[in-house]
């Protein structure tokens, strides 16, 4: 993964760790897409989104005002996204379509997939979550040897 060797997620804690992971994966996911490693880029962006959701729910202040129903498991990616969508946080991002695309990307290389629309929508939801924008110069330098 793009964060190996660049951070110790557990040492950063339950808020800073997932946030740093999300940012590193956004940066790497974008790079992989630009390099034509489309499937790897999509899967990396998915990890960024799930890390961002974990970060979002790690704060009582951010959880305040969310429409969380009794018994909902916020550690489940689909449930977490449903809660955020129901609470008006995610805009119109289609998590189900993204999840299906990720499943396809895990199975085969999506060479030729036009990812521009996906990336625009992904960046919009990351902005709504409060992860983007961020200053990439504040991140540890990227290791070009990572896939």
- Taking only the tens place, the pLDDT of each residue in 70-114 is 999 999 999 999 999 999 999 999 999 999 999 999 999 998 999
d(C-alpha 39, C-alpha 16), whole Å:
27
pLDDT of residue 145: 67
User: In the chain, which ranges are continuous DSSP H helix?
Assistant: 9-34, 38-57, 60-63, 77-86, 95-107, 116-129
d(C-alpha 40, C-alpha 8), whole Å:
22
d(C-alpha 135, C-alpha 80), whole Å:
26
- Taking only the tens place, the pLDDT of each residue in 114-128 is 999 999 999 999 999
Q: Is the pLDDT of residue 15 over 90?
A: no
| Tokens representing residue 94 in the block | 């289609």
d(C-alpha 142, C-alpha 2), whole Å:
8
Give 88 or 142, the one with higher predicted confidence: 88
Sequence-distant (6+) residues with CB within 8 A of 82 are 72, 95
Confirm if 106 and 43 have CB atoms less than 8 A apart.
Answer: yes
- Taking only the tens place, the pLDDT of each residue in 22-78 is 999 999 999 999 999 999 999 999 999 999 999 999 999 999 989 999 999 999 999
pLDDT of residue 14: 77
- In angstroms, what CA-CA distances link 136 with 6, 38, 58, 64, 110? 13, 21, 23, 29, 27
């Amino acid at each position: 993964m793009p964060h190996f060797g660049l951070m110790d997620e557990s040492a950063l804690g339950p808020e800073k760790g997932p946030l740093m992971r999300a940012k590193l994966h956004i940066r790497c996911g974008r790079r992989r897409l630009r390099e034509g490693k489309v499937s790897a880029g999509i899967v990396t962006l998915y990890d960024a989104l799930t890390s961002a959701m974990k970060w979002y729910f790690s704060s009582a202040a951010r959880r305040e005002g969310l429409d969380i129903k009794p018994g909902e498991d916020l550690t489940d990616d689909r449930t977490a996204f449903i809660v955020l969508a129901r609470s008006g946080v995610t805009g119109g991002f289609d998590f189900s379509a993204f999840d299906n695309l990720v499943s396809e990307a895990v199975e085969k290389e999506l060479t030729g997939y036009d990812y521009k629309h996906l990336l625009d929508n992904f960046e919009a939801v990351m902005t709504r979550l409060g992860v983007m924008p961020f200053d990439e110069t504040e991140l540890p330098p990227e290791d070009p040897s990572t896939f």
